[in-house]
Amino acid sequence: MTRPVVAAMMGAAALAVLLGVAVPVAAAEPDAPDAPIALSPARMAEQAARERWQRAREQRATVRRADDAAQRQADLARQVGAQWQDAQEADVALARALQDAQDCLGEAGASVESLEAALQAADVARAKADAAADAVVHASGARLRPALSGAEQATQARRAAERDLRQALAGLQTRLSSCRSQVWRAQGTAETQRRRLDALAALASALIDAGADTAVRLDAVAALPVQPDMPLPPLVRPERSGDAALRRLAEALPPGPPPAATADASVLDRLRQLASERVRLQGTLATQTDAYAMLALLARTPASGCPRGRCPSFRADLAELSQRLTRTRAAWTSLRADQAQVQARLGGLLAAEHAEAATLKTVLQRAQPWVEPAGAEVLADSRRTQDALAPVLEAADQAEREAQQAWRLAAAQAGMPPPRAAGAAPPAPAMAYPAPAPAPAPDVRSHALAVFQSIGDEPPNFGAYTYVLVSGFDAKRNDEVAKRFRQLLVALRKNTEGASGVPLAERKTVNVFCVPTRAQERAAPEQMLIDYVDDLGLALMRRAQGGVLSKAMAARLASSPGPFLLTLPSRIDESGPNTALLLADLSPYDEADIADLVASYKKGLVDAFPEHQAEWKPNLPLTVGMTMVRWFSAPGRIVASAIAPANAKSRP
């Protein structure tokens, strides 16, 4: 139906009120063609006021975007100094960590020499004791007492030498364990410094992009058309002085690719193994030598004095023992040669780390002249830009307010409802600036077990880190907690290889379970529990609460006695609130189920690493299986279940 027909049916006056237009009654004929709508002066004024307000909004938004871009650049420039300070502190820490590790390796070499001297002293003392014992056998009369006294002194000297040998071995083992931690710390510190320099390079690149964005926004302000009804003061663009220094800083910062190879800490474990095996063989050799001397003495005894007529067979025993002695001496000599080869590698073990530290220091030295100009001058440029924009932005704000007020008045005069209050125009999409990205999800294919005694001592370069945590005080007060934690350690110790044996090239696909304990990596679970470092465990839980876990997970960590498994794609001191992680609280489960739970947890990490912070729960088949086992293992459960339906009575 055409508008004129409606006008004829409803009346021109009613239609004019409804549409807000003036319609001549004479034109309202049923068959007349559509006529153009003539707006009333009030509506035309309202429309013009609205268009003016829209132009004012766009004008103000353009100026505001330029001011926001300058502010973003200023915010980034303020970060340069702090990140540079972090990089300098990391450089000092890296030099100290490398020096500590190198000193430890030198002390380990000295400990090896001490062990070698102790081995020789023990061998000499054994030979003297054997000679003294032989002298007693052949002494008689007045020579017997001095011979007995000499044998006693030789025996005491031999015991002292053997005690010194055990202490020398223990000292070497302790030193090598310490060196392994020092080497890992040096590697981790170098990795941290490289990440900080990468972040500083990304910041410099972001500042360059922000400067370009600010220039584009300023061009847009300068290109705004002149509008007589809402004029803006001219924009006086300031000179920029920080761009050159910023470009030089960006060119100086990239540290280049990481080293292809780093120190292999397994050398220290191999040296420890060889030293222990040599000491063990030394004892075997001493035992066999003593046995040979005794058999030789018996073989020289006249047949009439042989106990039970055994003398004729002594010579055969001597021949067989002589062969074993020969094999033991050959093995001992071979071990000594292997140990010498491994020991020779200690001096250059940290060559790659020293080269990496030198490369990173060169980057620092190359960037140092441009850090302060890049930060301070770019910040000053941003402030000058905002100062230049201030009168333009003030005028644009005022023009928008006036245009909006004029629109409100025009709308009221046109009889329209009051327009909704409208704020500033939404800003245009800002440029994306690089931010520290969360660690990528690791491709976990296997698992390892490591022990550590301080934060930062976790073995570096692994794909994921699972912290094995419990409140040591809860474990000591609560037998149930202690039992669950012990079973957890048993499950990990039984089916997980030591982290020190994982080659560096394979670590990125390995999740390492980290136990805060003073015990050795292959120590018994009971010893790991006894030597659990309570302070370190609590400190790790506190760090997780303070900047890694969500509020709900942090509350769980505080309210539950554990034990817990906390898996991260990086070490805990390198993680943040955006880090994807997996937290398992094993407190609700029976100790008998821990082994199955650990196996399920490990398999889940291999199948898929979580994309966000998630709380781990066993899958449905495992849950059902554990429930059925507990149900059927309860005393009298089956009988009671069978009898109950038969004795049940319906309620009246």
pLDDT in tens, 253-274: 877 777 766 778 888 889 999 9
Tell me the whole-structure pTM to 2 decimals. 0.52
Instruction: Give yes or no for a contact between 442 and 423, defined as CB atoms under 8 angstroms apart.
Output: no
Q: What pLDDT does 620 receive?
A: 63
pLDDT digits (tens, 9 = 90+) for 339-359: 899 888 888 888 888 988 898
Residue 28: which residues within 8 A CB-CB, separation 6 or more? 4, 7, 8, 12
Mean pLDDT of the chain: 80
Most confident of 17-26, 209-218, 311-320, 555-564: 209-218
Tens digits of per-residue pLDDT, 433-451?
343 445 678 889 999 999 9
Q: Look up residue 239 and give its two tokens.
A: 């000179």
Distance (Å) of CA 292 to CA 136, 307, 319: 17, 18, 9
Q: Is the peptide bond before 563 cis (omega within 30 degrees of 0)?
A: yes
Residue 306, pLDDT score: 57
To the nearest 10°, report the CA torsion of 139, 144, 148, 153. -90
pLDDT band, residue 510 (cuts 50/70/90)? very high
Tell me which H or E stretch contains 498: strand 497-498
Q: At what angle do helices 534-547 and 551-559 cross, to 10 degrees?
A: 160
Neighbours of 604 (CB within 10 A): 19
Buried b (16+ CB within 10 A) or exposed e, 231-260: ebeebeebebebbebbbbbbebbbbeeeee
From the number of C-beta atoms within 10 Å of its C-beta (0-12, 13-18, 19+), residue 18 rates as: exposed
Q: Which of 609, 600, 619, 610 is nearest to 495 (CA)?
A: 600
